[in-house]
Structure 1
Amino acid sequence: MTPAFSYSIAVFFIILIAGCAVNLLVQHYIFQLLGIAFFFTYIIINSAVYVENTFDVTFIELFYRSLPSLFGISACLISMTLGFWIFPSIRNKIRD
């Protein structure tokens, strides 16, 4: 397992736990969409800077550099799905 992959798994679990905490809010999807937009923008800017500063760039290098952000996007999407599917009943139990 490469260090980029193990780091990406750690990013995934941290974002998933934070996303589940955000799911307790009624308008959780706003914060999760902001997270997805942030990770996407970070991938674009990071890749552009890397391509500009590196002479010979391969796809695998760009992929490994963007892997943590891709895992963060997937964690945001999974926590958003859980927020629409499971967390409404949990929010109702907390309110009552």
Structure 2
Amino acid sequence: MLFETIAVAALWVAGFRPSLRASTLYFVVEQAVYLLLALAFLGAEPGPWRAVGFHVLSIAGAALLSFTDGGRQSRRWLRHQGWRLLKRAAKVK
């Protein structure tokens, strides 16, 4: 998490100033993507380069989902699908 904090601080100094909401979303999504990658490759042999790869992929994925229009559309779609699933579950009970 130290690397991510340094990267965000460097971007802030360089003039990229996302909102607090977008920054918080980035950190949450980065951890979630890392966890999903770790679970997906649970049976694989662990190694230092695998951890580096997971971090690079999770940072890139979180940045795409947090700071781009495509990420905004993806979040909207996920939110819509989640509400639809909750409504369907409520009807079943």
TM-score normalised over the length of structure 2 = 0.40
* Greater RCO structure (CA 8 Å; 6+ sep): 1
> TM-score, normalised on structure 1?
0.39
